[in-house]
Structure 1
Amino acid sequence: MNKQHPLSYLKSRQLKVLPNLERMKLIVKVTFLRWR
C-alpha cells in the first residue's frame, strides 16, 4: 500500500469495485426480466 497516496489507492479500489456493482445490477435486471 502506498502511504503517500491514500486517495489514489481509494480511487483504484473504487474503480475495481464499481464494475462489479454494475455487473451485479445488470445480472439482477436480466434475471428479473427473464423470470417475469
Structure 2
Amino acid sequence: MPVFFLISLLVAGVALCLVVRRRRRTAAADQVLRDGAP
C-alpha cells in the first residue's frame, strides 16, 4: 500500500471524528452519562 493512501485515510478519519464531536457533543455526553450511570 502506498504511504500517501494510509496518511490520507488517517487524516480523513481524524477529521470525521472531529466533525462528529462538534455536531453531537451534547448528545454524546448525555449518552455516556446514561450508559455510565448504575
State the Cα RMSD in Å. Answer: 1.4
Query: Which structure is higher in RCO with an 8 Å CA cutoff and minimum separation 6?
Result: 1
Q: Which runs of 5+ in 1 are unaligned?
A: 1-11
How many residue pairs match? The answer is 25
Q: Which runs of 4+ in 1 moved over 2 A?
A: none
Q: Which runs of 5+ in 2 are unaligned?
A: 26-38
- Provide TM-score, normalisation by structure 2: 0.57
So what's the TM-score if we normalise by structure 1? Answer: 0.60
Identity %: 16
